Amino acid sequence: MTLAPKILWLEGIFDEATVEIFPAISPAVNFWHTGFVKGLEAAGCDMTLIGHAHDRFWPNGRALVHAGEANLDPDFSGHTLGYVNLPVFRKKTQAWNYLRLVKRHVVERGLPDFVVTFNDTPATLAARYLSSELGVPWLFISGDGLVIPGADGYLYQNWEYFNSSHSPGPKIHLDGGLPDLTPILGSEDVDTTKSVLMYMGALTEHGGALQLARAFHMLEMRDVELWITGRGYNEEIERLAGSDSRIKLHGFLSEQRLHELASRAKFFVNPRPTKFAPNKLNYPSKILHYLAYGCPVLSTFSVGLSPDYQNVLIPMDEETDVGMSASIGSVVRMTDAEYASWCDRVTTFNRSRIWSEQIERLLDWMQLKLKRSARRI
């Protein structure tokens, strides 16, 4: 490994204003990417980003997405690209622009030591060009379990797909790292007599927010609140919040405001339904975000979760409204001693999940596996 390996990251990491005006950008994915790339930079890697802002097809989105409409996170250097956002043309113009910018990057800065992509996107064409034509080792990150042939190595977030005999290699399992967060203590607008159970995520079916709200509404306890944050609108959740003052809908928040609220939560919950087919393909990255606050996390267990989490997450075994309500009730009724014990478990687990250790393990593996299999010319 060179002292400062040059890595070309073919995916955008955007500032908050861009995430807000492009609803198709996943805040959770953007957050994971931020931690990953910052971890690589902290390890001494010279990172350059090339990416595009995801938008919904026209007419629900823009007909033309201009490069200047999207801004990368100011902590990173690189370029954004535009595209024609119409059926048939979108993927073609995105792929062509990735290839164009990658070729320009090679002319201006030389070959990178590695190229990294996240899932099969239009950036794949440019990564394949670098790998097959110029011999640059290509790391493919599988965020949803699906992979394509041709990469020099594969990083799996999903434990089930990593262990599958059908998954190509060389391969490594790395679901993420712990974000570096400093809890914010004290607030004038929080009732400290009530315990807060918090959910962060979209209000769509795959997140399980609606079932969580229904289950929480069944609780008779009055000294607990459910805080729901995230993008989207759900009429039934709105109705439940309107009839139950303990359910607080905070909507889509800035990172700072989200951090402020999360710092005041006593428990977190991941109600993602395991029977919803797409949830079998991905890793719920919110888990590590929750654990970073050092609090107990109540969660369902999908096949994508590593067995490492069995001793640190509180299982939500029965995924029905009644069963989920019982699990929530059991958690919020913890004694002080039980709560402290779970917090200690989280603290111990977190020591092994910081980004610096995860990235060091990844870079050692890349040096050993990717360069050895790369087809340099």
**pLDDT for residue 183:** 65
- Lowest-confidence region among 118-122, 281-285, 307-311, 364-368: 281-285
Contact 306, 173 (CB under 8 A): yes
* pLDDT over threshold 60, residue 188: no
pLDDT band of 376, cuts 50, 70, 90? very low
Residues 237 and 131 placed together within one structural domain of the fold: no
- Lowest-confidence region among 264-278, 289-303, 320-334: 264-278
Residues 43 and 102 placed together within one structural domain of the fold: yes
What tens digit of pLDDT does each residue of 117-172 get? Answer: 999 999 999 999 999 999 999 999 998 878 899 999 999 999 999 998 888 889 99
181: left (phi over 0), alpha (psi -120 to 50) or beta: beta
Residues 223 and 157 placed together within one structural domain of the fold: no
What tens digit of pLDDT does each residue of 57-88 get? Answer: 999 999 999 999 999 999 999 999 999 999 99
Residues 13 and 52 placed together within one structural domain of the fold: yes
What tens digit of pLDDT does each residue of 218-263 get? Answer: 999 999 999 999 998 999 999 999 999 999 999 999 999 999 999 9
pLDDT band of 186, cuts 50, 70, 90? low
* Residue 58, in any domain of the structure: yes
What tens digit of pLDDT does each residue of 99-119 get? Answer: 999 999 999 999 999 999 999
Query: What does the mean pLDDT of the chain come to?
Result: 92
* Residue 1, in any domain of the structure: no
User: Residue 173 is part of a domain; what is its CATH number?
Assistant: 3.40.50.2000
Prediction pTM value: 0.92
Beta carbons within 8 Å of 135's beta carbon, 6+ residues apart? 111, 374, 375, 376, 377
Residues 27 and 164 placed together within one structural domain of the fold: yes
**pLDDT for residue 122:** 96
Residues 300 and 173 placed together within one structural domain of the fold: no
**pLDDT for residue 212:** 96
* pLDDT over threshold 50, residue 344: yes
pLDDT band of 184, cuts 50, 70, 90? low
Residues 42 and 159 placed together within one structural domain of the fold: yes
Residues 81 and 228 placed together within one structural domain of the fold: no
* Residue 186, in any domain of the structure: no
* Residue 187, in any domain of the structure: no
Long-range contacts, stretch 90-98, CB < 8 angstroms, 24+ apart? 90/57, 91/122, 94/52, 94/121, 94/122, 94/123, 95/122, 95/123, 95/124, 95/125, 95/126, 97/52, 98/10, 98/50, 98/52, 98/122, 98/123, 98/125, 98/126
- Number of domains into which the chain is organized: 2
* Residue 108, in any domain of the structure: yes
Residues 19 and 165 placed together within one structural domain of the fold: yes
**pLDDT for residue 191:** 57
Residues 11 and 82 placed together within one structural domain of the fold: yes
**pLDDT for residue 189:** 54
Mean pLDDT of all residues in 14-35: 95
Domain interval for residue 98: 6-177+354-373
Residues 138 and 206 placed together within one structural domain of the fold: no
* Residue 184, in any domain of the structure: no
d(CA 127, CA 132): 9
- Lowest-confidence region among 37-41, 71-75, 144-148, 283-287: 144-148
Contact 119, 142 (CB under 8 A): yes
d(CA 135, CA 8): 14
Q: What percentage of the chain has pLDDT greater than the value 90?
A: 81
